[in-house]
Amino acid sequence: MTASTTEIQARTLAGYAHASALRQIHDRDWVLDRVTGEPEILLDLGSGIGQLLHEALERHPSLRLAVGLERSEHRIAEAAERLRPYGERVRLVQADLTAPPPLPERADVVTMTSVLHWLYPGEETVLQWISERLSPGGVFLLTTYHPERDTAGLGGEDEIVRDALVSLGTERAAVAGVFSDGDVLPIAVRTRPAAELGALLGRYFHIESHLEREAVVTVEDESQYEHFHAATFGDYYARLVDPGRRAAFFRAVGESAWRRQRERGRVSSMPVRLWQLTPRR
């Protein structure tokens, strides 16, 4: 059976530059607005296709090195092309943040946008590593999303996926069991509540401040969200259905999002928090 275009996109996480405009691009600018002074070394964790690194280099000529750590080889390849003009001022490292690699430099700024929940429940490994990688006076800028959970433990993207599974024939009450049987942890579980996360961060950092805003996602049609989901979540949720039904699953996700857009004027809305952290010494 030939894979659909969206299935191929999900495997390679392609098309993120376009998809990020719906949500993550706002985090990038919000974070970089908090970078002050003349930083020399910046480290972006989960650097994706290099958009934050590119903008940071444009904003801060003082940067002599911008380092990106990213697990996806496809995203690293796209980032390398985007950042080629900056030459030796950029270093891209393929790395799994559950076991971050040794780095010789200490960073003036470390950024992580909408990534920490993917490391749950082992976030402490990377948090300790970051605290050891920051230079004296350095800052860690972190964004986290906090969707509300329902009684089944689902929230945020989980709800859109649930609607898609129901449209494909799953009983609504059985969806939580489908998640469990498919070994897919709901995003609303992966994302710790703000108070719980604050206590965890406080073990390694001083919480200098935090800002909050509402992240609202709107789309123009079902296809736009179908491709956003594939570029952002890959095949994480698609594992909940048999391989032969995955093209139908992605279409159902797009249809679910578009139905929400028509009924509510938006696909989703959830709080996002920007933490400004300095290491404990």
User: Could you read off the pLDDT tens digit of each residue along the chain, which spans 281 residues?
Assistant: 455 655 445 544 544 444 445 555 678 999 999 999 999 999 999 999 999 999 999 999 999 999 999 999 999 999 999 999 999 999 999 999 999 999 999 999 999 999 999 999 999 999 999 999 999 999 999 999 999 999 999 999 999 999 999 999 999 999 999 999 999 999 999 999 999 999 999 999 999 999 999 999 999 999 999 999 998 999 999 999 999 999 999 999 999 999 999 999 999 999 999 999 999 87
pLDDT of residue 190: 96
Question: What's the half-sphere exposure (Cβ side, CA atoms, 13 Å) at 76?
Answer: 16
3-state DSSP call for residue 245? helix
Q: Cα separation of 74 and 44, whole Å?
A: 17
> Residue 235, Cβ neighbours under 10 Å: how many?
17
The confidence score (pLDDT) of residue 26 equals 75
Are the beta carbons of 145 and 191 closer than 8 angstroms? yes
What percent of the chain is helix, strand and coil (3-state, nearest 5)? 50, 20, 30
Q: Contact 178/238 with Cβ under 8 angstroms?
A: no
Contact at 8 Å (CB) between 108 and 39? yes
Q: How far apart are CA 208 and CA 91, in angstroms?
A: 29
Non-local CB neighbours of 168 within 8 Å, separated by 6+ positions: 241, 245, 248, 249, 252
Beta strands in 79-200 (DSSP E): 90-94, 107-113, 134-145
Length of the chain: 281
Q: Which helix H or strand E contains 279, and what residues bound it?
A: strand 268-279
Q: Which two tokens stand for residue 23?
A: 């949500």
